[in-house]
Structure 1
Amino acid sequence: MRHSAIGTPEQLRDPNYMPPLWSAVPLGIQHVLAMFVANVTPAIIVAGAAGFGFGSNSPDFPELLYLIQMSMLFAGVATLLQTLTVGPVGAALPIVQGTSFAFIPIMIPLVAGKGVDGLAALFTGVLIGGLFHAALGLVIGRIRFALPPLVTGLVVLMIGLALVKVGIEYAAGGVPLKAQGSDLYGSWASWSAALVVIVVTLGLKFFARGMLSISAVLVGIAAGYVYCLVTGKLPVGAITGSWSQAAAFALPMPFRYGFEISVAAVIGFCLMAFVSAVETVGDVSGITKGGAGREATDREIEGATYADGVGTAVAGIFGGLPNTSFSQNVGLIAMTGVMSRHVVTIGAVFLILCGLVPKIGALIRTIPIEVLGGGVIVMFGMVVAAGISMLSDVSWNRRNMVVFAVALSVGLGLQLEAMGTAPGGVDALQHLPETLRVLGASGILPAAVIAIVLNLILPRELAEEATEEVSGGLRGHGTGLRNR
C-alpha cells in the first residue's frame, strides 16, 4: 500500500488525520491482529492457575469465557481512552492498549488453586492498582530517574524468565496433565502441535512481508489449530459444543466476583504499576519518534499514563486484567508510517465488538493448550529478549554489575525456589507474613526493590573502577544497541 494513495507525508505524520475508510479499516484491523493473541493469553493463564476446567462441560467454563471476553472488551475501551481522550486522560496518539504480561507473576500466586474464590481479591487489586497507576501521571516525569534501563531492563528480563516455564508446560500438554502424572504430558502429540506453531511463526516472521509477517504468531496458532483438527487432537464436537453453549451477546457485570481487599494484591499491583508506567512512557516516545519524527510532549506522556491507570481501574471493576500499551504496535506504526489515531480507534471498536460477543471467546477457548504453548514460547521469549535489549543500553561497569548481580540472584532465586515447592510444603519465605510471602514468591518485586535501592545508594565512584574481580576478566564497557 503506497502512502501517496493514503495521504501526503505531512498528513501521515499528523495524529489527527483521518485516512480514507478503504485504507483506515484494514489498517485498524491490522493493529488488532498484531496484538490479539498476546491480549487474551494472560486471561487464559490466570484461569489455568486458578484451576478452571477448560472443557465446555466444566462448571468454570462460563467464567473462563468471561475473562477472555473482558480482555478484549477493556483493551478496546482503554485504547479509546488513549486515542479519543477524556479531559486529561489519554495521549491523543495511536496507542494500542492490551492486557499486560508484566502482572502475571503477581497474579498467579494470588489465584493459584483457588478457583473463582481467588478472583475477588485479584480484581480489587487491579482496581486499586489502576487508580494508583493513574495517579502516577502527576509525577511520572519526576520519578523516571529512579527507573533507568538497569532497573527496567532487569524487571522485564525477570518477567520473561518467570513466564517461560508456563510456555513449556503448555507446549508439553498443560499443568493438569502434569499434576496427574499422565503419560500424555510431554508426548510427541503435544510437542508436535507446539512445534508447528513455532515453525510457521518463525517462517512468516522472517520470510514473509506485510500483514503475514506482522500477524505471524496469530497465523502460526491458526496453523497449529488446523493441525490438531487434522490429526484428531481437537474433535470437531469440542468446537461445536463450545460455540453452542456461549451466548451471542453479553454485557459486563460490575463486581461479578465481589470486592475483597488483599494487602498482597494491592501492594503487588501498585509496585508493578511503576514498571508499566515507564514502559508506556517508552512506547509513547517510540510512537512520536517513529511516526512523527519528534519527541513526545509532557502532555502526551502524562495523558498516556492517566489512560493506562484509568483503563486498568475500569477493567478491574468488571473483571478485566491490567492494561498497558503494546510495544508491538509501536513498531507497526513505524513500519506503516501512518500516525493517525483514528486508525487505531477503528481497531478499538473492533475489539469492543469482539468483547461483547462471548461466542468469540468460546472459539478462542477451543485452542488446544499445546498450540497456545507454541505461541507463548515465542512471545515470552521475546519478553526476555526485550529485557536484554534494554540492558544493552547499560554501561557495564563494576557498580552496575553488582546492582544487577545481587538483584537477579535474590529475585530469580526466590522465584525458582517458590516454583519448586510442592503444595503444602515449606519454602524459603515460610516464616514471613502471608502478604510478604506472596510478594516475595514472584521474585520480580524483590529484584525491582533491590535494584532501585542499590542504584540510588551505591556511590557513583564505583563506576570508574575495573570489573575483572566480579566478571572473571570480562570487561563490561559496551553500550549495546545505542551505538548500532
Structure 2
Amino acid sequence: MMKNSSIGTPEQLRDPNYTPPLLKAIPLGIQHVLAMFIANVTPAIIVAGAAGFGFGSNSPDFPELLYMIQMSMLIAGVATLLQTITLGPVGAALPVVQGTSFAFLPVMIPLVAGKGIDGMAALYTGIFVGGLFHAFLGLFIGKIRFALPPLVTGLVVMMIGLALIKVGIQYSAGGAHMVGKPEFGTLTSWACAAVVILVTLGLKFYARGMWAISAVLLGLIAGYVFAIGIGKLSPAAIAGSWNNASAFALPMPFKYGFEMSFAAIIGFCLMAVVSAIETVGDVSGITKGGAGREATDKEIAGATYADGLGTAVAGIFGGLPNTSFSQNVGLVAITGVMSRHVVTFGAIFLIICGLVPKVGSLIRTIPIEVLGGGVVVMFGMVVASGISMLADVNWNRRNMVIFAIALSVGLGLQLEPSALQYVPGTLKVLLTSGLLPAALIAVVLNLILPEELAAESTEEVSGGMAGHNPEVQPGE
C-alpha cells in the first residue's frame, strides 16, 4: 500500500480533481482493479453456467462464455469512465468504480436457466430497458430514500447473498451441471475450493496492504496453481484456451437480438431501485471516507445517471448490469486518495483487458471448483454486509414482524419454487427469485404499518426475542 505523504498534501488528497504523479497514480489505479477484478467477471461466468454454456475450450458455446467475460471487463471500464470523467450531468466526478452487480443474479438466473443462447435476447433487452429506468431514477433518487431504510436495504442485501450461496457450494463441489453424477463433491473438488478459502482468509487476517486487499484474487491464483499441481487443470488446456481466443476484438451491438420479456423488464426495473440506493450509499461512503463531507445532490444524481447509462450500454453490447463497487469505497478510505483520475487509469486498464479476449480466455480456464472457493467467500461477505446494515435497525416488534414475514416468504419461495406451479410464467419468474417478493413485502409493510405497533405488546413473538429491544420489554 502506498503512503499518502509521498503522493500529495492532505488538501490535494481530499480533492477529487487532483492528479497524483503518474508513477504513483497508475499503480493506485491498478490497485482498484485488483480489488474488484474477480468479483466483476464472476457474475458472467455464473449466468453463462446457468444458461448451459459449455465450460471446455472445445465446447461450441465457449466463444459465448468468453464474450460475456470480455464484456464484463470492457463495460465496467466504460461505466467507470462515466463516473470519473463524466458526460454532461452523467457521472459523480468522484473515484467511483463500477462493476458487474451480484444483486441482479437472482433475477437473471431464472430468466436464462437451461435456455442457452435462446435466453440471451430477452435477458439483454431487460438489462437495456432496466438501465434506462435506472438512469431515470436519478431525477428523483433523493425523494425515494425514505422508503428504503436499513431494515429494507439490509434485508435485500442479505437475501442476495442467501440466494447465491447455493451457487457457491455447487461450484465448489464441481458445478451445477455435475449434480447427481459420481464426480460431484469429490475430495479433489473440495480440496481446490478449500485452498482458495484458506489462502484468502489467511491473507485477509494476517497480511497488510495490497496483499490483504487482493486476498480473493491471490486465493484464486493459489487454487489455480494447486489445481494444476494435482492434475485438475493441464497446461495443454490452458494453451488450448489461449490459442482459441483472438488477440483483439470489438464488441458487437445487439449480438443476441432483441426480445421483449415482461418478466425480465419488470425484474430489472425493480432491482434498479435497489441498485440505485446502493450507489447512493457508496457515493456517500466515498465523500465521507475520502473528504470528510456529505455527498452533494449533484454527485448523487450524477452517479445514478452513470449507473443506469452504464447498465443500458451493457444491455446493448452483451454485458451485465453494473453498479458501484463497495470494496473500492473502502479502498479510497484506506489509501486516503480521493483523486478520480486515479480510478480513470484503472478504468482504462479494464477497457484494454476487455478488448483482448486472450485475457478472458485465461480467466475461463479457472476450474469451477477453484472459482467456487472464491464465490463462497464473496457471497458470504454479501450476507455479512446485509447483516451489518441490519445492525442499524431499531429491533422493535414492528420491525421484527416486517423482517420475519418478508424473509419467510421471499426465502421460502426461492427454496420451493414448485409452490408456484400454477402462477403465470412472468409472475413466477419474478416471485421465485425470492429477492423481489422479500423487497416488495418489506417496502410495503414499512410504509403501511403504523409506528404505534412498535410500542404494543406482541406476546406471540416466541422465545422472548422481543425482550432484546431495550426500549420495549416483554410484558409491557
Normalised by the length of structure 1, the TM-score is 0.96
Match of 2:45 in 1: 44
* CA-atom RMSD in angstroms: 1.0
Q: 1:477 aligns with which of 464, 469, 473?
A: 469
Match of 1:447 in 2: 438
Match of 2:474 in 1: none
1:280 aligns with 2:293: no
**Is the contact between residue 130 and residue 312 of structure 1 (CA under 8 Å) also seen in structure 2?**
yes
Q: Could you tell which deviates more after superposition, 53-62 or 1-10?
A: 1-10
Q: Which amino acid aligns with 1:146?
A: A
Q: Which amino acid aligns with 2:64?
A: E
Secondary structure of the 1:473 match is helix
**Is the contact between residue 124 and residue 316 of structure 1 (CA under 8 Å) also seen in structure 2?**
yes
Counterpart Cα distance in 2 of 1:82 and 1:476: 43
Counterpart Cα distance in 2 of 1:327 and 1:412: 25
Match of 1:482 in 2: none
Tell me the alpha carbon deviations over residues 126-157 of structure 1, each in whole angstroms, 9 at most, x when there is no partner.
00000000000001010011111111111111
Q: Which amino acid aligns with 2:336?
A: G
Q: Which amino acid aligns with 2:433?
A: S
Question: Alpha-carbon deviation of 1:467?
Answer: 5.4
**Is the contact between residue 82 and residue 91 of structure 1 (CA under 8 Å) also seen in structure 2?**
yes
1:13 aligns with 2:17: no
Counterpart Cα distance in 1 of 2:262 and 2:385: 30
Q: 2:429 aligns with which of 438, 442, 461?
A: 438
Normalised by the length of structure 2, the TM-score is 0.97
Secondary structure of the 1:371 match is helix
Match of 1:193 in 2: 192
1:29 aligns with 2:54: no
Secondary structure of the 1:16 match is coil
Q: Which amino acid aligns with 1:472?
A: G
Match of 1:297 in 2: 296
Q: Which amino acid aligns with 1:111?
A: V
Question: Alpha-carbon deviation of 1:412?
Answer: 0.4
Tell me the alpha carbon deviations over residues 284-312 of structure 1, each in whole angstroms, 9 at most, x when there is no partner.
00000000000000000000000000000
**Is the contact between residue 395 and residue 478 of structure 1 (CA under 8 Å) also seen in structure 2?**
no
Q: How many residues align?
A: 469
**Is the contact between residue 3 and residue 335 of structure 2 (CA under 8 Å) also seen in structure 1?**
no
Tell me the alpha carbon deviations over residues 151-175 of structure 1, each in whole angstroms, 9 at most, x when there is no partner.
1111111110000000000000111
Question: Alpha-carbon deviation of 1:465?
Answer: 2.8
Q: Which amino acid aligns with 1:274?
A: V
Counterpart Cα distance in 2 of 1:208 and 1:436: 47
Q: Which amino acid aligns with 2:395?
A: W
Secondary structure of the 2:358 match is helix
Match of 2:236 in 1: 237
**Is the contact between residue 110 and residue 429 of structure 2 (CA under 8 Å) also seen in structure 1?**
yes
Secondary structure of the 1:72 match is helix
1:309 aligns with 2:308: yes
Tell me the alpha carbon deviations over residues 36-61 of structure 1, each in whole angstroms, 9 at most, x when there is no partner.
00000000000000000010110000
Counterpart Cα distance in 2 of 1:3 and 1:119: 46
Counterpart Cα distance in 2 of 1:476 and 1:32: 42
**Is the contact between residue 467 and residue 473 of structure 1 (CA under 8 Å) also seen in structure 2?**
no
Match of 1:424 in 2: none
Question: Alpha-carbon deviation of 1:469?
Answer: 3.1
Q: Which amino acid aligns with 1:451?
A: A
**Is the contact between residue 74 and residue 354 of structure 2 (CA under 8 Å) also seen in structure 1?**
yes
Counterpart Cα distance in 2 of 1:117 and 1:81: 31
Match of 2:350 in 1: 351
Match of 2:64 in 1: 63
Match of 2:93 in 1: 92
Match of 2:104 in 1: 103
1:259 aligns with 2:250: no
Question: Alpha-carbon deviation of 1:471?
Answer: 4.2
Match of 1:154 in 2: 155
**% identical equivalent positions:** 78
Q: Which amino acid aligns with 2:235?
A: V
Q: Where does structure 1 lack aligned partners over 5 or more consecutive residues?
A: 419-426, 480-484
Counterpart Cα distance in 2 of 1:175 and 1:329: 31
Q: Which amino acid aligns with 2:31?
A: Q
Where do residues 110-129 of structure 1 align in structure 2 (5 Å cutoff)?
Answer: 110-129=111-130
Q: Where does structure 2 lack aligned partners over 5 or more consecutive residues?
A: 472-476
**Is the contact between residue 83 and residue 345 of structure 1 (CA under 8 Å) also seen in structure 2?**
yes
Secondary structure of the 2:464 match is coil
Secondary structure of the 1:469 match is coil
Match of 1:75 in 2: 76
Counterpart Cα distance in 2 of 1:478 and 1:41: 42
Counterpart Cα distance in 2 of 1:250 and 1:112: 28
Question: Alpha-carbon deviation of 1:182?
Answer: 2.1
Match of 2:365 in 1: 366
